[in-house]
Amino acid sequence: MPQTPSRTLSDHEKALLQIRSVPRPQAQAAARKRAKAKAQGQTESPLALTRQARKINRILAQTYPYAVAELDFDNPYQLLVATVLSAQTTDVRVNSVTPHLFDRYPQPADLAAARQEDVEDLVRPLGFYRNKASAIIRLAAALHQNHQGQVPQKLEDLVKLPGVGRKTAFVVLSNAFGQPGLTVDTHFGRLARRLGFTQQEDPVKVEKDVAALFPPKDWAGLSHHLVYQGRRICHAQRPACGACPIADLCPSYGIGEEDEQKAAALLKYELAPGREELHLLFLQGASRRQLQAQGYPLSA
């Protein structure tokens, strides 16, 4: 499937593709204003920070209305295993492996009884395949033996499972069970600090600070928005500040590329140059699985 549109986009489609644009002078003026206030010893009140944070989340929700968990799954067991496998690899790569894994081991009892060598062969493309195979076999055994093959729906039970920490537990609780939860992964933590939501490095402290700024009903969506923003625009090494929809609101504006054209070239995934048709299909409601089946590339 070609990555570039094979037809002329309509005015309506072009409008759909437009994300909030902040002119460079406007973003720079906002940055100077923040710097001046800081130099004068002025601090943002908790109420002002809360309002700012929620405004940022609203803009990101408009930018990524299709934001969902990027791991493919059909049930809580699949999401739990996929999340454990996603350590130190990409969701796209995990999604290329899990269909074969779950076809062969559709239930925790099946995976618990598997030969490690067989599981290693299936998860080999993910790296650290011996450790990962061992981890998901032990996880499946715990589900089978202690929870009747069901994924528990309480945080305190999930984190007792082998290889499951708070981040993995909240991925499952929020995406598989619809419970409020903040998923503090690498992208979330980096964005939360850059946006001034927290100064903490410890994930549990980050979670506490950010949770105080938003109502629980917004936690799952916020988690997706920050992860999407971190993967597509606010990169760890070279953020695309000049293409950022929240450039005028971000305390860290200027740490990356400010030039609009150069920043646009840094965009990833469906926002990357030449992927307008993919972006449009996401906006029109196509699922990741549908697009992958049609041959669209979903990697960065």
C-beta of residue 80 within 8 angstroms of C-beta of residue 182: no
What type of residue is 233? Answer: I
Q: Are 275 and 269 in contact (CB under 8 A)?
A: yes
Residue 131: other Cβ atoms inside 10 A: 13
CB proximity list for 105: less than 8 A, separation 6 or greater: 111, 114, 119, 140
CA atoms of 218 and 57, how far apart (whole Å): 9
Burial level of 54, CB count in 10 A (0-12/13-18/19+)?
middle
What amino acid positions are annotated as catalytic residues? 167, 185
DSSP letters, 118-164, are: HHHHHHGGGSSHHHHHHHHHHHHHHHHHHSTT---SSHHHHTTSTT-
Distance CA 218, CA 203 (A): 18
